[in-house]
């Protein structure tokens, strides 16, 4: 499994894909935080926080993560190498985890440079260090789990089709619905006493909760459960291909 994980990670880092994803993420968030004269701009607001990063990043991830996961299995199916891969002395879940973890590591690589934003605000705040580090670290943890969740969705959708464009479009839709869809349904106030339950099914509710700086085990379990469900669905998808044979 580790060998396949290294191969998948190297396929990102030895090509332009990984660097393009990291660059686009940093460029987009950097422009909104430091250049564009919007509500997210740290310099214009005058407050020692980088909350704008944690508001912008999920929407950037909505498109970037499906872009990196769309080839996970789609490319294997299209080229015919999926048959060779599935006959290797590895379980289906080991193959899935190798591809999944490679995507998660790339998400982590894109987040690490944003620590410079934290350092900048920390050093130049008045007084120095005037930043809510608890909320900041909680937001980073939430953003990492959010990215990991989107990766699990992208890997699953990629296992369903050999068309990378279709994989990308469907992944974006499902990630967007999982993140914002339940919030929209909740805002309609149609279901009375179960409105809050419906809201709790969405990613944004738990992401916002962690971003407050309080790590609630219920939020962690939500993300782990969400990821596990989509990884298991990916396993079923691969097994169904075997049944077809």
51 vs 53: CA distance, rounded Å: 5
At residue 100 the predicted structure's pLDDT band, cuts being 50, 70 and 90, is: very high
pLDDT at 242: 58
Greatest extent of the chain over all pairs of C-alpha atoms, in Å: 67
The pTM of the full predicted model, rounded to 2 decimals, is 0.93
- As given in the structure block, the two tokens for residue 228 are 């596990």
> Tokens in use for 230?
């989509």
- Please report, for the chain, the start and end positions of each structural domain, with discontinuous segments joined by +: 2-244
pLDDT for residue 50 is more than 90: no
Using pLDDT thresholds of 50, 70 and 90, give the confidence band for residue 133. confident
pLDDT in tens, 179-210: 999 999 888 877 778 888 899 999 999 999 99
Do 70 and 155 meet the contact criterion of CB atoms below 8 Å apart? no
**More confident position, 129 or 29:** 29
Element holding 164 (H helix, E strand): helix 164-176
CA 227, distance to chain mean position in Å, is 10
Query: In which residue are the tokens 């002395």 written?
Result: 89
The DSSP output letter for 80 is T
Higher-scoring residue by pLDDT: 132, 57: 57
Is the separation of the CB atoms in 159 and 235 below 8 Å? no
Cα(191)–Cα(197) distance, integer angstroms: 10
Report CA-CA distances (Å) from 51 to 9, 32, 117. Answer: 30, 11, 11
**What distances in angstroms separate CA 153 from CA 125, 227, 230, one per listed residue?**
38, 8, 6
Residue found by looking up tokens 């219920």 in the block: 218
Condensed to tens digits (0 to 9), the pLDDT of residues 7-45 reads 888 888 887 888 888 999 999 999 999 888 888 888 777
Measuring CA to CA, which residue among 101, 81, 75 is closest to residue 4?
A: 101
């Amino acid at each position: 499994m580790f060998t396949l994980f290294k191969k998948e990670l190297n396929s990102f880092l030895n090509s332009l894909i990984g660097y393009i994803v990291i660059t686009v993420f940093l460029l987009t968030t950097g422009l909104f935080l430091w250049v564009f004269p919007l509500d997210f701009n740290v310099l214009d607001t005058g407050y020692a926080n980088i909350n704008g990063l944690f508001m912008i990043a999920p929407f950037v991830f909505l498109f970037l993560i499906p872009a990196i996961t769309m080839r996970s299995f789609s490319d294997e199916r299209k080229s015919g190498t999926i048959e060779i891969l599935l006959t290797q002395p590895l379980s289906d879940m080991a193959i899935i985890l190798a591809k999944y973890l490679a995507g998660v590591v790339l998400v982590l690589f894109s987040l690490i440079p944003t620590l410079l934003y934290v350092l900048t605000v920390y050093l130049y705040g008045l007084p120095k260090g005037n930043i809510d580090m608890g909320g900041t670290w909680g937001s980073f943890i939430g953003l990492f789990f959010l990215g990991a969740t989107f990766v699990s969705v992208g890997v699953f959708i990629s296992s369903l089709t050999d068309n990378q464009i279709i994989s990308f479009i469907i992944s974006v839709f499902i990630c967007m619905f999982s993140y914002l869809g339940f919030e929209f349904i909740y805002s309609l106030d149609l279901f009375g006493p179960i409105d809050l339950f419906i809201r709790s099914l969405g990613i944004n509710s738990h992401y916002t909760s962690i971003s407050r700086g309080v790590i609630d085990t219920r939020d962690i379990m939500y993300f782990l459960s969400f990821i596990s469900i989509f990884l298991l669905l990916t396993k079923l998808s691969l097994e169904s291909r075997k049944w077809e044979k």
